[in-house]
Structure 1
Amino acid sequence: MASAEKHHYVPRFYLNGWTTQDESQALRLTRFQWKGGKFLAERVVPRSTACLDRLYSLEGVPIQDQQRIETDFLARIIDNPAGGVLHHMRTAGPRHDLKQEQRVAWTRFIMSLRIRSPEIVEQLNAEAPAELRKNLENDPEEYDTLAEEGDPETLLEFVEKEAPGFIDDFGKRLLPRLIMDDKAFKRIHQMHWWSGDFSDSKVSLLTSDHPVIIMPGIDHPGCVLALPISPTLAFFACPDERVVQFVLNWNRTSLVEWLNATVVRLASEQVYAIDDCQAEFVRNLLRMPTVD
């Protein structure tokens, strides 16, 4: 049923890379989080974490259309193609050579991870409807010249009548447009790409509910974009070949430690690992939620 839809803001196919089989043969990963003032390290299945009920559901449309952002956009256009690319990168290792359509799919996936989080959705839901109402109330004279007899008195009232719920859902409706932003897409797509193999590192790679690292900024000529893709592999992109060489020459374990520290600091609530060996490391860096 639509009312029971769970929407993953960190997709299961991505989290599966940190799973191992338990005694019941179930694939689980280790999830670190603060809850009720306690730091927890729990073994969980990917389908039960990094998800919220109806996170992307539209409320002002018929029930058969409520999940279309999740099913028609995120699943079909973003996650399904990216899942194949991720499988290829994990199996091919650092020697992978992505085709054009794979680069497009992977770029879209990276952009989605930056936008689809509960925090961004909450912000859009809080700000976008009010901004749209404000814009609809601008230039009332223009509407007056176009309105026909029997139409509502204002454009705002017209939209509320003809498209009930559209304004309240406007924040979620912006998600596809933000994820498909051409400027950010071109910036990432044109960077130098490679994967780092950290099988020889003393510590494994962590990930989190905000796993994409972009420092100092996507428009900076010295930008470094990084995304852990397994406990031993990380994806990198840089616009400058000199920065690429700097990263490649970094000590392997030191680079993993930097990646892990950054991923944990970027996390909103949850960090994921293949085991609990780095529990103390995560505990010291993961922000404790503020109590309202």
Structure 2
Amino acid sequence: MLQINAAELVIGAAAGKGEKHHYIPSLYTRAWAGADGRLCEYARPYREVKPQWKHPDATGYVRGLYTVPRNDPTVSEYIERQFFKVTDDQAAPVLQRMRAGEQINWDSQCRSAWSRFVISLMLRNPEYVARMAAEVLGFFDPNNEEAEKRYQEIRRQDDPETYAEHIARSTFHPAGRASALAMQKVIDSPLMGGRLNQMRWAVVTFMNERFPLLTSDRPIIMTNGLMKPTDHLSIPIGPRMLFIATNNEETENMIRSMNPRTLMEQVNDRVASQARRYVYGLGNKQLRFIENRLGRKWPSTPLETSVPA
């Protein structure tokens, strides 16, 4: 049997090559950029956290992260050039209006655009892509006995004798497409999107607190689920603005009634502790705070350690 490196056949296999694929879109992090167009990126390349000034487009990406290997360019770059482009483009005006303090009529179009973007931020990171690809790969692994059995059941007389030989000769591999479709399916899940769309949405604005809100490569703050009355979700949408989704007025009022400084500290604590690689700030004055938290890798959402079935 031909030996094939199956890990090279799924989405994420081309990481490090090709186009920039932003798992933290610059349209989101741009709010933390200063007058010169740069934000402060905090990272821990070794032992110490290092702040660096970067343009939003120069951080929060992995080259080739969503590329589907061994397919024509239209298919291989579909997730980045089409799926996430549409997701980000539709969310951009909604985010802009929230940041401008506009009163938004949350019709179905606006809600769907924003909830899809929020859900995408939970799932488009390199770690989730890798876990999802590994799950899908098990079904299509050319060295897997079950995959061989399925192939023999549908194999035609003029097809290669084994599944591994079939894959080796193919110009594409079904695992790549399947892992790409799995990501789209989860992000567009009616269960997840429907639940988020049914919640109460609001924006909390802060005024003159000393330290602004941070964000990171895990910007979503979420309770262990969204079904219970007190469950909620939040995401910083700017240095002094926090989007919140709650299941009832009491929970929303509870959050709004918190001391602004305490609320901001709690948000910053979670956002920094959840980060895997990057924390972002308006400036470099929160270095000590971030040093004590970056690297804890707290789960951001229940999806953090799960993969699609």
When the two structures are superposed, what TM-score results if normalisation uses the length of structure 1?
A: 0.86
Matched, 1:19 2:33: yes
Alignment of 1:207 onto 2:221? no
Q: Using a 3 Å threshold, how does the CA distance of structure 1 residues 28 and 187 change in structure 2: closer, same or farther?
A: same
Secondary structure class of the residue paired with 1:237: strand
Cα distance in 2 for residues equivalent to 1:156 and 1:167:
13
2:252 is equivalent to residue 244 of structure 1: yes
Q: Per-residue deviation at 1:281?
A: 0.8
CA contact (8 A) 1:140 1:154 kept: no
Equivalent residue runs for 1:51-66 within 5 Å: 51-66=61-76
CA deviations on 1:142-188 (whole Å, 9 max, x unpaired) are: 974x6554345677876776673222553334211111111111110
Q: Equivalents in 1 of 2:269, 2:283: separation in Å?
A: 16
SS at match of 1:234: strand
* Amino acid of the structure 2 residue aligned with 1:258: Q
The alignment status of 1:5 with 2:19, answered yes or no, reads: yes
> Partner of 2:100: helix, strand, or coil?
helix
Contact 2:167 2:173 in 1 (8 A): no
Secondary structure at the aligned position of 2:69 is classed as: coil
Which residue number corresponds to residue 99 of structure 2? 90
Q: Distance in 1 between matches of 2:138 and 2:168?
A: 13
Q: Counterpart of 2:268?
A: 260
Number of corresponding residues:
280
Equivalent position SS for 2:238:
coil
Shift of 1:35: 1.0
**What pairs with 1:165-204 in structure 2 (closer than 5 Å)?**
165-168=173-176, 170-204=178-212
Q: Report deviation, 1:4.
A: 3.1
- Preserved contact between residue 137 and residue 156 of structure 1 (Cα < 8 Å): no
The question of 1:235 aligning with 2:249 is answered no
> How many Å separate the matches in 1 of 2:227 and 2:296?
31
Cα deviation, residue 241, structure 1: 2.4
Cα distance between partner residues in 2 of 1:168 and 1:72: 16
1:9–1:57: structure 2 CA closer, same or farther, 3 Å change rule? same
Q: Secondary structure at the residue paired with 1:4? A: coil
| Structure 2 equivalent of residue 47 of structure 1 | 57
| Aligned match of 2:10 | none
CA contact (8 A) 1:29 1:272 kept: yes
Task: Indicate the SS of the match to 1:272.
Answer: strand
Correspondence for 1:280: 288
Residues 37, 176 of structure 1: alpha-carbon distance in 2 compared, 3 angstrom cutoff: same
**Amino acid in structure 1 at the alignment position of 2:137:** P
2-structure distance, mates of 1:209, 1:113: 9
Number of the residue aligned with 2:48: 38
2:283 partner SS: coil
Contact kept, 8 Å, 1:225 with 1:238, in 2: the verdict is yes
Partners of 1:189 and 1:200 in 2: how far apart? 31
Letter in 1 for 2:34: T
For residues 157-168 of structure 1, the aligned pairs below 5 Å read 164-168=172-176
Q: Indicate if the aligned counterparts of 1:7 and 1:55 stay in contact, CA closer than 8 A.
A: yes
Q: Does 1:71 align with 2:85?
A: no
Does 2:145 correspond to 1:131? no
Are the equivalent residues in 2 in contact too, given 1:137–1:155 (CA < 8 A)?
A: no
Aligned-partner Cα distance in 2 for 1:5–1:139:
34
In structure 1, list runs of 5 or more residues that go unmatched. none
Hey, what's the Cα distance between the residues in 1 that align with 2:233 and 2:169?
45
Residue-by-residue CA offset, 1:234-277 (whole Å, 9 max, x unaligned)? 10001122211211211111111111101111111110011112
Q: 1:99 to 1:92 in 2, by over 3 A?
A: farther
What is the distance in 2 between the residues matched to 1:194 and 1:15? 20
TM-score, structure 2 as length reference: 0.82
Cα distance in structure 2, aligned partners of 1:193 and 1:132: 41
